[in-house]
Structure 1
């Protein structure tokens, strides 16, 4: 399934793609007595992710869902989840990227965080802050948690994954490298573009074998595969859940491959008027314009 958040006129809703249409989950549940209690769950993506099996049952209703379908081309696609409790990012998780960054290859996951205000959706702008002159791009696979867990063994970790999505870890390098704390260069407003959809785990046979690319103004800048991850998804989930309780809707951005702007000669940083496209096989394309912050 491909889940997303969509806007029609002045109202947003959570829906599931059905060909060229989107089924409004909350509206459909409200109209069908056996699913009416799920209406509230479908009003928030975090609770929707904990109700994936209910969605599967709802989709079996077939023709009765017709009145709750909205043409995709009439909708505005928003960030699929706007209110995660946690956005946990992994640094230096591709060997070649660690080398191009002149950093030691980590022996345990390097983590930092972003905030809800960092999130921006497909087609929405990445805003270049006045405080930075060296804003960079980073294509990443993001894992979306669907089941609460603490101290999760690696062999059970994938049971806690609900979905995957495309992520861009936008980074202000001058702020990131000023001192030892990365967050001030990573968590700025609009620095976490994601989407267009959340693709459920069952649709991705092997998340560790996905082509991942980034284009800047049509030029290929990053071109790799998630097979190159140093710490795989089960390792990351197990490690992080020793530190914090993972909850439905939490995002784990798994790191970026080589080809970032700061490592190029000469360096390439985002400028107003640029367009950034991140694509991951099976998950889709995330396109964002770049503008100067007003």
Structure 2
């Protein structure tokens, strides 16, 4: 098989639909092979990943042109876990953006935040919260901006997709539980992140992150075997053609292995579960330009393909 454009490796997995029911498919170049004979969906394939992956290299059958198929979210997860404040430059930018007018100088804020991140890294304390599968939408579908949301923002992120279940796994073996990687845009209602009515509660991720369509996912699941180093990928988001995010995953405070291990100490990660690894620098809050009706977001991660989503005001 020839490599698909912009994808690492000879093939990837996705979920597709035409006139009938959705089906799992093997995508290579501009064609798709229906895999519903192997399993009803991609999550079922991930549940047998060690057995399935060798079969995909030699898969045969009637190929269909990719053009004309609707590309759906590549997997339906049971659980979603999201890492916050995991890119050094991003955390510093947010701290400066949230500093009140007339407050501390930007360089002082950055120095204090850098010291805080060094402490977190030394103490091995990632910050992870849970998301809802109902927020997921397709890689080319519209993102609907709720009428109540006044500060919608983008956050393009690398996603680790679990294959073999993981419970209390050490860092050294954690990547062995990652079957594939994909892309998510973790759209955020910035005004809802911090509870103004009771600061002691802290963050309100339910309202800030989980509106319908707030998590464009995909386009595909690229097998981890084809991704040489998840800590050396370029994350780029363009808004109406202008580059807003352009950062390497090298800037992560906690790498993918540490995140998988950390989450698995509390819960069992299951096949198809998603672990969003955090947003790099360049969000709208930093640029002073948040999402509006008609905006087009184009997100790319090297080797994982691209997604394109138009924003639509629900009003």
Cα distance in 1 for residues equivalent to 2:135 and 2:41: 19
Post-superposition offset of 1:66: 3.2
Deviations 1:198-233 (A, max 9, x none): 000011000100011110000000111001110001
Distance 1:234 1:115 in 2: 22
Distance in 2 between residues matched to 1:60 and 1:150, nearest whole Å: 29
Q: How does 1:21-100 map to 2 (within 5 A)?
A: 21-26=31-36, 29=37, 39=38, 42-59=39-56, 65-67=60-62, 69-81=63-75, 83-100=76-93
Q: 2:221 aligns to what SS in structure 1?
A: strand
Name which of 264, 289, 292 aligns with 2:310.
289
CA distance in 2, matches of 1:242, 1:59: 32
- In the alignment, is the contact (CA less than 8 A) between 1:176 and 1:182 conserved in 2? yes
CA drift at 1:80: 0.4
Q: CA deviation at 1:55?
A: 3.3
Residue 238 of structure 1 aligns with which residue? 261
1:272 aligns with 2:272: no
**Runs of 4 or more off by more than 6 Å in structure 1?**
none
**Deviation at 1:87?**
0.9
Structure 2 residues not aligned, in runs of 5+: 1-10, 96-112
With structure 2 as the length reference, what TM-score do the two structures score?
0.83
Match runs of 1:217-236 below 5 Å: 217-236=240-259
Q: Distance in 2 between matches of 1:60 and 1:230?
A: 35
Q: 1:171 to 1:280 in 2, by over 3 A?
A: same
What is the aligned partner in structure 1 of residue 17 from structure 2? 7
**Aligned equivalents of 2:146, 2:73: Cα separation in 1:** 21
* 1:33 alignment counterpart: none
Structure 1 residues not aligned, in runs of 5+? 30-38
Specify the alignment match of 2:99 in structure 1.
none
Matches of 1:128 and 1:246, distance apart in 2: 31
Task: State the TM-score, normalized to the length of structure 1.
Answer: 0.89
Between structures 1 and 2, the one with greater strand share: 1
Compute the displacement of 1:71 (Å): 1.1
Asked whether the equivalents of residues 15 and 41 of structure 2 are also in contact (C-alpha less than 8 Å), the reply is no
CA-based RMSD of the aligned residues comes to 1.6
